Amino acid sequence: MNPLYSIAEIRATEQSAARQLPPGALMQRAGQAAANAALDLLPFTPAQCKVLLLAGPGNNGGDALDMAAHLAHAGMRVSVWLLPDSGAPSAQRQDALQRARASAATFVEPSAAAIAGGVWTLVVDGLFGIGLQRPLGGAIRAAVEQINALDCRVLALDVPSGLNADTGAVVGPDGVAVRATHTVTFIGDKPGLHTGDGRDHAGAVQVARLDIDASHFAPARAHLSGVGHFARHARPRRQNSHKGSHGSVVVIGGAHGMAGAPVLAARSALFAGAGRVYVAFPEEAPAYDSGHPELMFRLAADVDFDAAVLVAGPGLGASHRARDFLQRAIDSGSALVLDADALNLMAAEPELQTALALRGTGAVLTPHPLEAARLLGVSVAEVQADRLAAARLLAAQMQVTVALKGSGTVLASASGDVVVNTTGNPALATAGTGDVLAGLCGALLAQGWPQWEAAQAAVWLHGMAADVLVADGVGPIGLTASELVPAIRVAINRMVQQRTA
């Protein structure tokens, strides 16, 4: 199920396994796994390939040195860029260094000029692993910036140097990190490779478990998303059904000048399979949606908030009337999705947060980083510095399911479980896509999906729709939120078909 492990969990697993293995066995396995990953990436015969390996002073550098010996033995032209030891190196790293020096690999001056001076088929980043605590600076920063300027494949070992493996943030307020095209990560996958800056720096990620027995791994509390987490709820429709069989959704929003937001959410709910969809406007309601007259427009004051799944917030505004309708939604017994202005109203009024936490039936919150920051009373930078922690804290404080949007959307349950979403692309960075997500989540809840699985599926389908559109040439530049809606319908139906095939 694609588990993700924290740095502390990886270290505990490594230490547990090492106690039952000969000294240096895990480093040798890592070096071999890294060499195999490199061989899979190289487009030419070994003798035609020029590989530069950057080896740092720690055990990550030892993995690179062991890898260098394997690649040299395979007939490649291998150059090793070796940082001097800053302290006493481990015996395992010393052994790896001896193997590299005994091979046909050549050692080059550890400077940015040496990186720039070659025409490389592949560059391997073995500078720093999961233990890096401070920003890269000086000559090492210059070397990383030179790596990032190269036009070749870059393979990071365990984690791109400069990236925090837990959080996906570049270490330091003005830090740099290697931009790898590929990462081979050891023992277990890490959340930081898949969220925040991680997706831009890690590239394609593969996991090398180093043949460590499963008994050494603690149960994971974080996972990558995938249909296996929720596909059992994707059921074909019975022939003997009607619109009432598939639930009703009420989207609450649409203050003056913002009617488009709830309409986008409502269209998404309609295309995602809700049987009936209403838009409850806080003030004057338009007569109908000319693009989709199936939608029903009402004044919020005339709607029964206990008769449908509620999606509150798109274009809701910040008026007293909007606040009263949000209070009614929280006080209702209906399944609830809160987005946009609903989150901003709660951030301004702690009483609404308390009411939500005491609700009993929970809710799904879909904040972007700024909305999450307002709710937590911190800065956006603090949220983005540790997206998993921010999502977990928000979910626990309000006893809800949280989908913290962004690159590698983080879903957190009130109990602390986390899923990092793997779908989506920069096409989603445009106005209205959050409204579409909220409506999609509401539609799944209306069709009987449990809250945790509905949130995961909504985020996954939302991103998959964008991925398919971009693959077909629609975006990422210029894709609109409206274009996502029919693509989501296709994605849902394909998921059901694959589930029942």
Q: Is 117 marked within a binding site?
A: no
pLDDT tier, 1 (very low <50, low <70, confident <90, very high otherwise)? low
Q: Is 130 marked within a binding site?
A: yes
Question: Could you tell me what percent of the chain has a pLDDT over 90?
Answer: 93
Domain boundary among 220, 252, 267: 220
Let me know whether 213 and 344 are in one domain.
no
Least Cα distance to 231 among 490, 453, 493 occurs for: 453
Cα end-to-end distance, the chain, whole Å: 21
Q: Is 200 marked within a binding site?
A: no
CATH number of the domain to which 140 belongs: 3.40.50.10260
The full 3-state SS of 241-291, as one line of letters, equals CCHHHHCEEEEECCCCCCCHHHHHHHHHHHHCCCCEEEEEECCCCCCCCCC
Is 87 a residue whose pLDDT tops 80? Answer: no
Q: Is 377 marked within a binding site?
A: no
Is 491 a residue whose pLDDT tops 80? Answer: yes
Let me know whether 253 and 289 are in one domain.
yes
Residue 479 and residue 466: Cα distance in Å, rounded?
A: 9
Let me know whether 276 and 215 are in one domain.
no
Residue 25 and residue 18: Cα distance in Å, rounded?
A: 8
**CB-CB contact of 143 with 168 (8 Å):** no
Q: Is 213 marked within a binding site?
A: no
Q: Is 409 marked within a binding site?
A: yes
Domain boundary among 161, 190, 220: 220
pLDDT in tens, 26-72: 999 999 999 999 999 988 787 889 999 999 999 999 999 999 999 99
What is the predicted pLDDT for the residue at 46? 79
Least Cα distance to 463 among 443, 493, 487, 435 occurs for: 487
Q: How many residues does the chain have?
A: 501
Let me know whether 154 and 93 are in one domain.
yes
Q: Is 134 marked within a binding site?
A: yes
Let me know whether 257 and 367 are in one domain.
yes
Residue 294 vs residues 221, 253, 271, 288, 441: alpha-carbon distances, Å: 42, 18, 11, 9, 19
Q: Is 304 marked within a binding site?
A: no
Q: Is 125 marked within a binding site?
A: yes
Q: Is 408 marked within a binding site?
A: yes
Q: Is 129 marked within a binding site?
A: yes
Q: Structure tokens of 212?
A: 């460590």
- Number of domain units in the chain: 2
CATH number of the domain to which 440 belongs: 3.40.1190.20
Residue 148 and residue 179: Cα distance in Å, rounded?
A: 6
Let me know whether 180 and 257 are in one domain.
no
Let me know whether 357 and 484 are in one domain.
yes
**How many C-beta neighbours within 10 Å does residue 187 have?**
24
Q: Which residues pair with 223 in a beta bridge?
A: 3, 419
Q: Is 243 marked within a binding site?
A: no
Using left for φ > 0, alpha for ψ between -120 and 50, and beta otherwise, residue 475 falls in: left
Q: Is 306 marked within a binding site?
A: no
Q: Is 405 marked within a binding site?
A: yes
pLDDT in tens, 395-432: 999 999 999 999 999 999 999 999 999 999 999 999 99
The amino acid sitting at 323 is R
Let me know whether 201 and 249 are in one domain.
no
Least Cα distance to 78 among 117, 113, 105, 38 occurs for: 105
Q: Which domain holds residue 119?
A: 3-220
Let me know whether 100 and 138 are in one domain.
yes
Let me know whether 210 and 287 are in one domain.
no
Q: Is 238 marked within a binding site?
A: no
What is the predicted pLDDT for the residue at 14? 97
Q: Is 406 marked within a binding site?
A: yes
Q: What is the mean pLDDT of residues 474-481?
A: 96
Q: Is 247 marked within a binding site?
A: no
Domain boundary among 220, 248, 266: 220
Residue 301 and residue 12: Cα distance in Å, rounded?
A: 56
Lowest mean pLDDT among 83-92, 136-145, 337-346: 83-92
Let me know whether 264 and 285 are in one domain.
yes
451 class by beta-carbon count within 10 Å (0-12 exposed, 13-18 middle, 19+ buried): buried
Contacts of 61 (CB under 8 A, 6+ apart): 55, 82, 83, 93, 126, 127
Give the mean pLDDT of the chain. 96
Let me know whether 119 and 242 are in one domain.
no
What is the predicted pLDDT for the residue at 47? 81
Q: Is 192 marked within a binding site?
A: no
